[in-house]
């Protein structure tokens, strides 16, 4: 399975660029920029990264982001992730960034976007990795703040494809951002939102009905509501699931109790993603390997999940088709005895 996981071309659709800040880079930037961080050694960092909930993670994650000051810092952060993509054979990525985490501390919107997009452009040229950028609103802040951030993003519309919603979910339901999502849609942005990570299935309904999202980030609590499950199957609304994140933040007891393969086999358009890999113990391939070990994922399920990562992306249909074919060719070459008629992409093939 490890060979197959590595060999298949993959897309990643749920990745916070601030969540790829590895301790080594955090230490280097802290020193360069004279920013205080509450750790001196990697061991101290590892001890601090024992989370008990989403909020316990966010508190540490926002502190880590304080070391990012210059455009070069955002470039270095993004470039390091793209090199990881290359090593893991991720050929397309749709990355999120949280501008408010930075503008609140006096870093300009332009600095953040310029550093990230310069790395993404270099990634296209030098590494052949395609990418889109998703700007997320912090949901613990007000809708008014989100409107200010949307206005700041408008001059960068060429660089930003979609709008998202992240941070502390409980008590900050999608309904709080109905108006700003409506405005974002009118400006032509694609829409995604975190929902059903810690929040219950009503948050997922709200993201669909009130925010009109194209995709749900996480969404694993959909299994509380059969009507919602049927709806997600019928409409093929994608869920970008992050298994190692869910275990780290105790939204799922352990991988053996994760519902991702049940959702997949029920016909939902689920994908696997790493969320904040520097904090949750692994990038995309480690998430897939963990599913193979913890849930006894089969090769045909892996193929289905990897195809879904393209199906749920914002790529054009013809680009998706090219990747489906590449996946099938590599799958057949590595597993010649496996039937390719096993579920490929629901509801076809």
Give catalytic residue positions. 197
Q: Is 152 in the site for Zn ion (CB under 5 A)?
A: no
Q: Is 115 in the site for ligand HPA (CB under 6 A)?
A: no
Among 10, 13, 17, 19, binds ligand HPA (CB under 6 A): 19
Token readout for 328 is 């099938």
Among 240, 245, 271, 313, binds ligand HPA (CB under 6 A): 245
Q: Is 320 in the site for ligand HPA (CB under 6 A)?
A: no
3-state secondary structure of 62: helix
Report the alpha-carbon distance of residue 336 to residue 149 in Å, rounded: 51
Report the alpha-carbon distance of residue 224 to residue 246 in Å, rounded: 16
Of residues 46 through 85, those in contact with ligand HPA by CB under 6 A are 54
Q: Is 12 in the site for ligand HPA (CB under 6 A)?
A: no
Closer to Zn ion by Cβ: residue 273 or 292:
273
Q: Is 167 in the site for ligand HPA (CB under 6 A)?
A: yes
Among 275, 288, 307, 309, binds ligand HPA (CB under 6 A): 275
What is the side-by-side order of every strand in the sheet holding 130-138? 10-16, 90-97, 130-138, 162-166, 190-195, 215-218, 239-241, 270-272
Among 152, 197, 206, 301, binds ligand HPA (CB under 6 A): 197
Q: Is 194 in the site for ligand HPA (CB under 6 A)?
A: yes
Q: Is 94 in the site for Zn ion (CB under 5 A)?
A: no
How are beta strands 10-16 and 239-241 bridged, if at all? unpaired
Q: Is 268 in the site for ligand HPA (CB under 6 A)?
A: no
Closer to ligand HPA by Cβ: residue 71 or 166:
166
3-state secondary structure of 160: coil
Among 18, 76, 169, 275, binds Zn ion (CB under 5 A): 275
For every residue of 188-254, DSSP letters joined together read T-EEEEEESSSS-HHHHHHHHHTT--SEEEE-GGGGG-HHHHHHHHHHT--EEE-HHHHHHTTSSS-
Q: Is 18 in the site for Zn ion (CB under 5 A)?
A: no
Of residues 126 through 155, those in contact with ligand HPA by CB under 6 A are none
Q: Nearest distance from residue 250's CB to ligand HPA, in Å?
A: 12
Helix, strand, coil percent content, the chain, rounded in steps of 5: 55, 15, 30
What's the maximum distance between 2 C-alpha atoms anywhere in the chain?
58
Residues near ligand HPA (CB under 6 A) = 16, 19, 54, 166-167, 194, 197, 245, 275-276
Residues near Zn ion (CB under 5 A) = 275
């Amino acid at each position: 399975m490890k060979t197959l996981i590595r060999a298949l071309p993959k897309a990643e659709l749920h990745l916070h660029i601030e969540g790829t800040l590895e301790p080594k880079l955090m230490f280097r930037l802290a020193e360069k920029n004279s920013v205080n961080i509450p750790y001196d050694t990697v061991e101290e960092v590892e001890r601090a990264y024992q989370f008990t909930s989403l909020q316990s993670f966010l508190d540490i994650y926002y502190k880590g982001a304080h070391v990012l000051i210059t455009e070069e810092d955002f470039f270095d952060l993004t470039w390091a992730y793209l090199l990881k993509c290359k090593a893991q054979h991720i050929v397309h990525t749709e990355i999120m960034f949280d501008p408010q985490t930075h503008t609140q501390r006096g870093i300009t919107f332009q600095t953040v976007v310029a550093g990230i997009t310069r790395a993404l452009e270099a990634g296209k040229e030098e590494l052949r990795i395609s990418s889109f950028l998703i700007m997320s609103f912090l949901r613990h802040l007000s809708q008014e703040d989100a409107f200010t951030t949307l206005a700041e993003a408008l001059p960068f519309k060429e660089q930003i494809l979609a709008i998202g919603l992240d941070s502390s979910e409980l008590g900050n339901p999608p309904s709080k951002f109905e108006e700003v999502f409506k405005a974002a849609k009118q400006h032509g942005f694609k829409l995604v939102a975190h929902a059903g990570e810690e929040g219950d299935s009503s948050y997922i309904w709200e993201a669909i009905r009130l925010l009109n999202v194209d995709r749900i980030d996480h969404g694993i609590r959909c299994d509380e509501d059969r009507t919602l499950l049927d709806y997600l199957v019928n409409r093929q609304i994608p869920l970008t699931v992050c298994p190692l994140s869910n275990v780290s933040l105790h939204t799922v007891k352990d991988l053996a109790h994760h519902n991702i393969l049940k959702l997949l086999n029920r016909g939902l358009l689920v994908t696997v993603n790493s969320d904040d890999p520097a904090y949750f113990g692994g990038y995309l391939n480690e998430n897939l390997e963990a599913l193979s070990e913890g849930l006894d994922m089969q090769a045909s399920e892996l193929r289905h999940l990897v195809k879904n990562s393209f199906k749920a992306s914002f790529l054009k249909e013809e680009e998706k088709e090219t990747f489906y074919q590449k996946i099938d060719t590599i799958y057949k070459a590595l597993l010649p005895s496996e039937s390719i008629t096993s579920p490929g992409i629901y509801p076809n093939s």
